[in-house]
Structure formats: structure tokens, C-alpha cells
Structure 1
Amino acid sequence: MQRLLTFLICLIILLFWSSCRKDFEFSPSKGNLRFERDTVYLDTVFTNIGSSTYNLKVYNRSDDDIVIPTIQLENGVNSFYRMNVDGTTGLGGAQEGKFFENVELLAKDSMFIFIETTIDIEILSNSDTQFLYTDRILFDSGNNQQDVDLVTLVKDAVFIYPNRDADTGIIETLTFDVDGDGTPDETTLQGRFLENDELTFTNEKPYVIYGYAGVDTGQTLTMEAGTRVHFHADSGIIITDGGTLNINGELSTDQDELENEVILEGDRLEPLFEDVPGQWGTIWLFNGSENNSVNYATIKNATIGILSEGNQSAPNDKLTITNSQIYNSSGFGILGRATSVSAQNVVINNSGQSSFAGTLGGKYNFTHCTIANYWNSSFRQFPALLLNDFVLDENGTPVTNDLTEANFTNCIIYGNDNPEMLLEDEGNIFNYKFTNCLIRFNNNNLSGTGNYDFNDTTFYEENLFNEDPNFEAPFENLMRISDDSGANGLANTDFTFLEDILGMSRNVPEPDAGAYESITFDED
């Protein structure tokens, strides 16, 4: 009886409370909405390429449940923006994503508006290579109208992408001689070879590449000073047998804008993606490509910055790279396989594995380079510098190739791990030498043994170990050194280039190791 009485009392209270609720009584809004910001900047997009999704939070601070009669884009169905209001796309047809009616918002509650855009710069008036496109989100009308501005910078670009079969939807893949037998092989690499009129990249417009842009036998891809190249995911450049890549950047006067450098990076222009590794594939110097050169380039956010294969015995180095920077590679900054690389005034930092790896032997000469690795996005297996002369076959048996030479002179080899150098040999010829370098190697178990006998002047001469290079901000890829760096005055003048990567004169007769001559940092 007592339980029944308690149940009846609770039921009466519940019915009375429910009858007093006004949850479903919405009054019209009175222009008192609040917004987390008055302008939504959708950053920079390329013409006809969709943006990321941005959001705007809208608040009802009042004690009343309200209904917003209309939420719409001021440019209506002609707007390049589209919206989603709390999971709905609004009216159908041409007004979908543009116009919403009777949007309810509870008291003391909020809602999200999600905004995207795809803009065709050719439709916009007075446009050249870029255009500032704007619109407004209008809430209600008349005296109750409120608005939030939308702003997007649109850039025109040259787009390079493979063809897609209209019937099957299959995307074109590259066909070239992969195994060196003289017969073209079909590959799974989506992309196409560049036409003759596409073999010179200029600074007039950015280039956006989908898939791999191939350079065929007898062709040379030239990138002029100030060129900007953006790669979509899983995209890159491949220089095949008999092809050549020449990146001809120049020294910039503004080290923030790098107006004369050639910059190669991903196609996501939002600040959130500015330093995200692994956004695109690689610059692949395939076996048989020749006389490749890179000068004053910044290569960032790739899987492998440069992959160079084969040609270690060619009369000219397969790759000559000077005055360049490679950052934020999810794998390797430069990966060499039985190849030849000459590098001067080069900075490599923040790589998911090694910043430089010379594998399966080869021929390498690095002078006044900063090979660093301050990767902190995940665990990395390898040090900043890796040299070996073998690869394991399917049975785990080493297949070797001679490391004919590997000379590192006036370099900094450092990072946030220890040691930052690994030398592994399985064959007979494994020639290397470190001269006047600052090296991080503090391992009592290895020092003095095998390839790490630092007193053997055949392989090591005038090096300094484990002194702080005092980089400016290595986790942010600011790799200049201070005037109290361990690299100060360490370089050998017989191998010194008169200017550093920034065009500063080196302090002869006591130049610094690495790509940068030291400076006094501002105390901020």
C-alpha cells in the first residue's frame, strides 16, 4: 500500500511539472544572437579546389527558446560558399546549403554552422592570379538582422593531373622502363609525363600536381626562381631514365617570404597544415636519370624529400644540391640508394626516420651541411645520419654494394636522440671520413670500436663530439647557430665555401661548421 501511495504521488508531481513546461513554445528571435567571432576566415584556397570545413558557433544567451526565421548567404544561390546548420542542409535544389528557414535554438544553448567553399576564379571579375572573395551569413531580416562576414583568398594555379577514363573511371598510370631491360613497364603510379610546353615552371602562378608528374628520356624539367609547387596527397615528381631535373632558385632578400627560392610543399594552404609531415610523396630521381641539380629550394612536408637511386659511377654526380632546406619528412629527408650525391650548404631537419640515409653503398660528399633531426611526432628508429652498404633480400640475406666514398666535411650531425650517426657495413669496400664535424655520439659501448674508432685518422679527423650546437629553435626548423655554438670556428678552411646558405660571408680564417655562419640571437 505504501509503495502504491508513493507511486501515485510521484506520478502527480510528474504530470504537474510537465504541464508547466514550455519546451515546445518558441518565440521569434529579436536580433540578440551572439557569435564566437564576427568574421570567418577560410584561409587560402586554389581555384576549383574545395576548402577545409570551418565552423561558427552561434549562441542564444536569453532565457527563451527562440526560432530564427531565416539563415542565408547574402549572395544567395550564386554564392560560392555552402553551409550546414546543426547537421541540416536547408532547403533543397539550388538553395541547398544557402538558405534555411525556422531554425530553432533553445534557451542558453548554442549551435554550430559549418562552412565550406569551392571557388572558380575565372567567374570572378577583375581577377588575375588571386582574388579576395567575400560574402555574409544573414540571420533574420529587417531590424532584427544580424550578420557574420566570410572571407577567402583564392589563388589561380596551373594544374597538372592524370587523365581519367570517362567510361571506367580508371585514372591514368605511368608506363616507363622500370627494370632497365629496354622495355616499358606498366606501373601503379597514378600520373602522366609532362608535355614539352610544361617542362618549364615559372613564378607566374603556383603549380598544383595530382599524381606523379613524370619527366621522360631526353627531357629536362626546369623550375625558375620563385616557383611554387604544391602536391596533392600521394603525389610527386619522378625523373625517369635519361631525364633531368634542374631547380634554379636564387638567394632571397626576405627570409620569411623566400621570394626567390623554389618551394615545394603540399596543397593544403591552411596554417594548420603548414608543418604537417607526409602530405605528399617525393621527388624521385629514378635509376638512369642524370645531372639533376637543386639550388635554393625549400622542400617540406613530404614522405621522402628526395629519393635518389642508382648512377653512383656516373662521371657526374646524379644529384648536386646546394643552398637548400628539407624539413618535416615523415620518412627520410634525402634517401640515397647506390647513388651519388654532392651537397653544400644544405639543411635537413625533422624526419620520421633519418634526415640523410645513404643506403646500399654509393658515393656521397657533404660539405658545410647541417644534418639534424629533432623529430618529436613519434618514435623514430634511425639516427639523423645513416650509412650502409647492403639491402636484405626476401630471405634476410644481405645483398651488398660498395660504399666507394662518403665524406662529411665541416658538417653538423646532431639531434634530440643519441647517437645521431649509424654506420653499418656488410661488404668489402666501406669508405667514409668525417672531417671537422660537430657530431652527437655519446655511447660508451660503441665508441672506440669498429666503425666508431674516433682516434683513427683514416676515418675521423678534427671532429668535436657532443658539444651543444645551440640551434635557434630546432623543433621549429630554425637552424641558425648562435655565437656560442660548439660549431663555432670548427670548420676546415681548405673546404670552406665563402658564403653560407643565407649569403653571409664566412669568418675566415675561423669559419663555423654547418650550413649557417653563427650570429648573436636577439634576447626576446
Structure 2
Amino acid sequence: MRHYFALFILGLLLALSSCRTDFDTVASTGDLKFSKDTVYLDTVFKNIGSSTYQLKVYNKTKNDISIPIIQLKKGLNSKYRMTVDGMTGNNGKIFNNVTLLAKDSLYIFVETTADITDADPTDFLYTDEIQFDSGANLQQVALVTLIQDAVFLYPKQNTYGTKEKIQIDGKDVDGFYLDENDAANGNELIFTNDKPYVIYGYAGVPEFTTVKFEAGARVHFHANSGLYIGDNASLQINGAASTTDKLENEVIFEGDRLESLYSDIPGQWNSVIFSNGSANHTINHLTLKNAVIGLDFQNPFNTVEIKNTQIYNCVEYGILAKNTHIIGENIVINYAGLASLSCVYGGNYNFAHCTFNNNWQNSTHFAVNLSNSLAGETPETNPLTNATFNNCIIYGSNTNEFNLNKSTSAPFVYQLNNCLLKFSSSSTDPDYQFKTDAVHYNQIILNENPKFYNVSQNKFNIDNTSPAFAKGNQIYIIPLDIIGATRTSPPDLGAYQSAVFPK
């Protein structure tokens, strides 16, 4: 009997389901609701695809409806493309008879790839509309994208389809050498502020040449790209102080994704690499962000000057210096997976009025790391002839932000004067006796919060309530701070002279 009863119930359910009218639809009457009336796609470079943006469409009626057509106003010629609830329609441009159930919603995802010639020449905006239905029931959502023109630099292919390569550390990588007589771009060794530059692969600086970056130059690196200054080549970054928040005179190195979502994502490009045969480098008013290693010095020939420079959000190091001679003034580094500043395999370093901070979210990073050894080198140790920090701030989110990796096989000479430093005050290690070791430490402010304005936004300004206020030594003063403000006497510690916090 139970079997007959089960068969009866199954038959009844099948009969009822055949009579359902839940999925009978009526035509849309133009009453759709939208999560936004305009979809703004962030600025993109010409012919580089945008991120994907979302629009939600609601049916708030009691009826299941059929939308006769969802399409881009420019049809198959539109530079936008869509998916509608996972469907691609006709090339992502036109969708027919789309069902939307009562009290339900659907997702539309939009992206674009457009050329500067597609945009309005007066404002460089490329626009279109998503149209829902037509005639009296027509509803529309606007699409807006700013297209930015740029100079594109990339490895070329020969007639056999093989892409250009250059050698870095004995390995072939996708790259090319900048040409001072390029047929399309002219002198590629001078980066101006006329247009942004977008680099694919490694841009190499040829031997016995100098690459120059003029004030206001903007350089965007694609994924796995970078800049390589090879043997007997030089780098000059000639930025200047800016008067507005647009940093109009700063030279900026960053990734090529312009959407706000990518503004602080580390590792979007690789590094600026200085080979051990390069020479005569000067860096002034550079902002570098979102690399793997910001500045990677591999034992260049002579002194490197780094002034008024900011480096943020690097996967490994802000500055990695291998047996390098650096004179650094008004440097700010924050967010690095291993160390904001790492000086390894010896060298000679003089830093004044620098802010080395590290708020990377792990427990193994440092703001400053010093070492006179390097595994795999022959010999493994090399003299650290000098590492001096004057009027600096060395701080971050870990208990200890200062690390000494000393080998007794080579000299290790260092000194901190008038610095604010974060390090566990309970340490019994003789290398970290900040209050009693006068050979290495003088006037150290230990474990006091410098009260930066906003670390998460990389704003390291201080005011007169900071313990770094007026604690510097006049002997080591750099007259102007990182933004060109005049320092008073006694000066503040770090790269910024105290003032009213920025808005």
C-alpha cells in the first residue's frame, strides 16, 4: 500500500507543477529600478581594459516580467561590453527577452577598452548608455569613462614573433632599451610631463647614457615591469616641490591601473634596479608606490643621492641597498613586507631627517635593517663602514622596528643621533642599549608614539604635540623639509617640519 500511496503523491505533485503559472511573464512596463543612474568607470589609459563595474536592476512589482531588449545605445560599435546575469548576449552588447522575476533583481557587469580617439576631444570622456526596452517604456543608465592618452614603451617583436629581451642578473627578461632616437617617440631617455608613460617589461638604460625624469613626469608600470639602469648608465630624477595636492612637480612611479581600488595595492610592478656597474644617480622629489622592491641598489659605483622621496606599499623592500653609498635626506618609507629600508652586505650610509616607518601587517618586518653580510656572496661579509641616522624617526606597528645583523668577520660601524626609535625597552642585547651605549646612540627617544597625522594614508606630518617636535639637533639640520617648508631651530625629527595637519 505504501508504494501505491507514494506513486499517488508523486503524480499529484507532477499534475500541480504542470499547472503552475509562476514563470508566465508579462512585458516590462518601464518600472525597473536601478542601483545607480550613472556607472562611472575610473580613468583608464587608451586601449587598456578597465576593471569591471556592477549595476543592479530591480523588479519591485508582483509580476514576473520579460524585458524585450537590454542593449548598449551604440550597439555593436560600443566600446563597452556587458554580461547580464552571467549571459554574454550578442558580443556583450545586445540581450533579447531577459526574464526578471517578481521582487527579484539581476546583475549587469560592465567594462570597457577604448582609444583616446573614441573619446570626446573636449573632455576625453567616452560615454554610452544601457537601454532597457524601447519607446514609451525606455529606461536608461549612463556609462562614463575618462580615457587618458599616454606614451607606451614596450618590447617589440621581430619578424619571427620573438619578443625583445634584456639581461638582468644573467637572466633574460622581457625588456627593451630606451632609444634616444626612436622613430615614434623621439628621445625616450627624457621623460617629460607632457603625457604619462606606460611601460611593459623592463625599460633598460643603455650603457654610457643617462635617463632623465623631468618635474611632473608620470610613469606607470604594467605587471612584472620595471626600470633597469645597467652598467655605466645613470638615473636622474629631477622633481621639485609642489604647491597643491596634485603633486604637480613630483615625479611619480606607480602601476598602470588607475582605478581607486588599486591605489594602495602592493606588488603591481617589480622594481627600479641599479646594476653594480651603474653610476652617478640623483633622485629628488620622487613618489614611488605599489612595487615589489622600490629602489634596488646592487652595489653601484659611487654615491647615490636620494632627497625628498616617498616610497609606499612594497611587497618586500622600499629601498634595498647592497654595499651602496647613499646620502639620504627627507626620505619617507612606509608599508614594506620585509623592511622599509634594508642596507645589506656593508656599505656607507648617511640619513638625515628621514621617516622610516613600517605598518605592514605581519610580525616579522622592520622599519630599518642593517647588515654586513649576505648569504651566497663571496666572501659572505663586507664592511659596513658607516651607517648614520641623524634627526630621524624609526617607527612602525611591531615591537622592534630596528634590526642589526652583525657579523664579526667584517667592520660594522653605525650611529643614531637624535632619533625617535621603536624597540623593546626590555632588551638585554648589548647592541641595543639605547640609553647607555654612547658610542652608537645619542639622545634617543624610545618607544614614544610620534603621533603621525594618518599612517594608513601615508601622511607622516606631525604637530607640536608630537614627542618628535623640536627634538632635533641643529648640527644635522636640512634647511627645508620634504615639502619645502623651512625648518626652525631646534628642528623636528623626521621628514616633515611640524605644522597644521593637512586636510
State the distance in 2 between where 1:494 and 1:47 align. Answer: 51
2:427 corresponds in structure 1 to 445
Whether 1:147 and 2:136 are equivalent positions in the alignment is no
- Match of residue 470 from structure 2: 489
Matches within 5 A, 1:47-86: 47-86=46-85
Could you tell me which residue of structure 2 aligns to residue 339 of structure 1?
A: 324
Structural mapping, 1:359-508, within 5 Å: 359-376=344-361, 379-393=362-376, 399-426=380-407, 427-447=409-429, 449-450=430-431, 452=433, 454-508=435-489
Q: Is the 8 A contact 1:352 1:380 kept in 2?
A: no
Partner of residue 294 from structure 2, selected from 296, 305, 326 = 305
For 2:21 and 2:242, the matched residues in 1 are separated by 66
Aligned to 1:122: 117
| Distance (Å, rounded) in 2 between the aligned partners of 1:391 and 1:504 | 39
What residue in structure 1 maps to residue 264 of structure 2?
A: 275
Moved more, 203-212 or 98-107: 98-107
The whole-number CA distance in structure 2 between the counterparts of 1:125 and 1:422 is 55
Range that drifts further, 270-279 or 475-484: 475-484
Match of 1:329 in 2: 314
1:513 is aligned to 493
Cα deviations across residues 133-180 of structure 1 (Å, max 9, x unaligned)? 110011110001100000000000000011134544x4321047x5xx
CA-CA distance at 1:207 after TM superposition: 0.4
8 Å CA contact 1:263–1:298 kept in 2: the answer is yes
Instruction: Name the aligned partner's letter for residue 247 of structure 2.
Output: L
Note the C-alpha offset of 1:13. 4.1
1:159-198 superposed matches below 5 A: 159-165=152-158, 167-168=160-161, 170-175=162-167, 178=169, 187-196=171-180, 197-198=187-188
CA displacement at 1:43 relative to structure 2: 0.7
Q: Is the 8 A contact 2:283 2:306 kept in 1?
A: yes
TM-score, normalised by the number of residues in structure 2: 0.94
Question: 1:115 & 1:4 partners in 2: Cα distance?
Answer: 54
Q: Which of the residues 313, 338, 343 maps onto 1:358?
A: 343
Equivalent pair of 2:461/2:501 in contact (CA under 8 Å): no
> Which residue number corresponds to residue 286 of structure 1?
275
Q: How much does 1:113 deviate? A: 1.3
Contact 1:480 1:516 in 2 (8 A): yes
Task: Show CA shifts across 1:456-484 (max 9, x none).
Answer: 22211122211221111112211111211
Structure-2 change in CA distance of 1:463 and 1:323 (3 Å): same
Shift of the 479–257 alpha-carbon distance from structure 1 to 2, 3 Å rule, reads same
Do the aligned residues in 2 keep the contact of 1:80 with 1:117 (CA within 8 Å)?
A: yes
What code does the residue aligned with 2:448 have? Answer: E
Gaps of 5+ in 1: 179-184
Counterpart Cα distance in 2 of 1:431 and 1:11 = 87
Amino acid in structure 2 at the alignment position of 1:199 = L
TM-score by length of structure 1 reads: 0.91
Q: Which digits, 9 at most, give the CA deviation of each residue in 1:45-78, with x for residues without a partner?
A: 0001111111211112222221111111111222
* Unaligned stretches of 5+ residues in structure 2: 181-186
Compute the displacement of 1:252 (Å): 0.5
Task: Kindly state the Cα deviation for residue 246 of structure 1 after the two structures are TM-superposed.
Answer: 0.6
Confirm or deny: 8 A CA contact 1:346 1:501 kept in the other structure: yes
* Residues 406 and 431, structure 1, Cα contact 8 Å, conserved in 2: yes
1:15 deviates by: 3.7
Report deviation, 1:110: 1.6
- Residue correspondence of structure 1 range 250-265 to structure 2 within 5 A: 250-254=240-244, 256-265=245-254
CA contact (8 A) 2:358 2:365 kept: no
Q: Distance in 1 between matches of 2:332 and 2:262?
A: 21
Q: Structure 2 residue aligned with 1:217, among 207, 222, 226?
A: 207
Contact 1:332 1:354 in 2 (8 A): yes
User: Could you tell me whether the CA contact under 8 Å between 2:119 and 2:147 is conserved in 1?
Assistant: no
Residue 235, structure 1, aligned to residue 225, structure 2: yes
Change over 3 Å in CA distance of 1:382–1:452 after alignment to 2: farther
Contact 1:218 1:242 in 2 (8 A): yes
Contact 1:135 1:149 in 2 (8 A): yes
* Alignment match, 1:182: none
> 8 Å contact 2:228–2:274 — kept in the other structure?
yes
* Matches of 1:333 and 1:263, distance apart in 2: 15
Q: Contact conserved, 1:208 with 1:230, CA < 8 A, in 2?
A: yes
Query: Would the aligned equivalents of 2:119 and 2:125 in 1 still touch at CA under 8 Å?
Result: no
CA deviations 1:401-440 (Å, max 9, x no partner) are: 0101101001000111011101111123111110111111
Q: Is the 8 A contact 2:120 2:126 kept in 1?
A: no
Q: Is the contact between residue 118 and residue 126 of structure 2 (CA under 8 Å) also seen in structure 1?
A: no
* Residues in 2 aligned to 1:359 and 1:76: alpha-carbon distance in whole angstroms: 59
- Supply the distance in 1 between the matched residues of 2:39 and 2:320 (Cα, whole angstroms): 42
Q: Deviations over 1:286-314 (max 9, x none)?
A: 11111111111110111111001113xx5
Give 1:181's aligned residue.
none
Q: Where does residue 183 of structure 2 map in the other structure?
A: none
8 Å contact kept, 1:350–1:475? no
| 1:24 Cα deviation after fit | 3.6
Structure-to-structure mapping, 1:7-18, within 5 angstroms:
7=6, 10-11=9-10, 13-18=12-17
| CA distance in 2 between partners of 1:277 and 1:19 (Å) | 56
How far apart are 1:276 and its partner, in Å? 0.7
Contact between 1:375 and 1:475, CA under 8 Å: does it hold in 2?
Answer: no
CA distance in 2, matches of 1:407, 1:478: 25
- Secondary structure at 2:117 match in 1: coil
Sequence identity percentage: 48
Helix, strand or coil at the partner of 1:14? helix
Contact 2:434–2:444 (Cα < 8 Å) also in 1: no
State the SS of the aligned residue for 1:11.
Answer: helix
What is the rounded CA distance, in whole Å, between the counterparts of 2:158 and 2:179 in structure 1?
19
CA contact (8 A) 1:308 1:339 kept: yes
Equivalences, count = 496
- Counterpart residue identity of residue 165, structure 2: T
